[in-house]
């Protein structure tokens, strides 16, 4: 960015070649001075040449006016102070710092999954985002489990409410894997799908029969939305249906 400003001002106001003189000559003047503080004969000539070139830069009419030179220097230092180079240690830390792994929700009833590992990740995501965890227990054999999936797919507002308040985690229960050890921690399940609301520490807050939301061949949107609101993390009260 700073180099782009130099190029722009060099092209528009003919300071480009003059800027090269300043950058290459001023360091030479400093290098010519001896440790005792004296400057040799040849060095004096070179230093005088550098002084003349600097004087040409700031004062000789027809090339660069003094006001323009001062404005140029002010622009240079203001940009340098506004955009300082990051420290080498900070750059190395940014390059080496690993990015936090992105949470991938479990949206399928998979008998091969480890529910304990899935729950640990869901709880970590709930703590990070200020939500609760909603366990959906069921299986691919369960017709109303598929009805629930279709219900949320068809009701974007209910799906958005669920995602805003909960990290949803599907737990498989089938002949292939009943996950007895995992589900034994929770109340007995009378039917499927069945819902458990957990806080971000894994504490059970509310077990919920999904059939209480049934309405014909689907679910009742207002009743389901009320459940997702009342048992969400921001609800002022916990009302039972």
Average pLDDT over every residue of 182-193: 97
Q: What are the residue ranges of CATH 3.40.30.10 in the chain?
A: 115-230
78-89 pLDDT, tens digit each: 666 665 555 554
Angle at 50 between CA 47 and CA 51, to 5 degrees: 90
* Banded model confidence at residue 191, pLDDT cuts 50, 70, 90: very high
Give the pLDDT of residue 53. Answer: 46
Average pLDDT over every residue of 115-136: 98
Angle at 131 between CA 126 and CA 136, to 5 degrees: 80
Share of the chain above pLDDT 90, in %: 54
- The CATH fold assigned to 115-230 is Glutaredoxin (3.40.30)
Range from 13-17, 132-136, 195-199 carrying the lowest mean pLDDT: 13-17
**Secondary element (H or E) of residue 43:** helix 41-58
95-115 pLDDT, tens digit each: 544 566 789 999 999 999 999
């Amino acid at each position: 960015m700073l180099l782009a400003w130099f190029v722009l001002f060099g092209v528009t106001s003919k300071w480009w070649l003059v800027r090269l003189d300043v950058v290459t000559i001023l360091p030479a003047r400093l290098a010519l001075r001896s440790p005792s503080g004296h400057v040799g004969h040849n060095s004096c000539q070179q230093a005088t040449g550098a002084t003349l070139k600097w004087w040409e830069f700031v004062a000789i009419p027809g090339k660069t006016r003094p006001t323009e030179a001062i404005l140029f220097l002010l622009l240079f230092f203001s940009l340098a102070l506004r955009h300082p180079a990051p420290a080498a240690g900070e750059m190395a830390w940014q390059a080496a710092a690993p990015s936090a792994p992105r949470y991938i929700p479990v949206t399928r009833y998979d008998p091969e999954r480890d529910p304990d590992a899935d729950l640990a990740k869901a709880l970590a995501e709930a703590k990070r985002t200020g939500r609760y965890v909603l366990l959906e227990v069921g299986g691919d054999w369960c017709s109303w489990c598929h009805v629930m999936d279709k219900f949320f797919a068809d009701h974007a507002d209910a799906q958005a409410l669920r995602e805003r308040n909960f990290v949803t985690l599907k737990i498989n229960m089938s002949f292939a894997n009943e996950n007895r050890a995992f589900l034994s921690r929770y109340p007995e399940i009378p039917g499927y799908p069945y819902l458990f609301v957990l806080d971000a520490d894994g504490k059970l807050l509310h077990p919920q029969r999904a059939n209480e939301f049934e309405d014909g061949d689907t679910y009742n949107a207002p009743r389901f939305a009320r459940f997702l609101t009342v048992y969400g993390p921001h609800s002022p009260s916990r009302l039972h249906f």
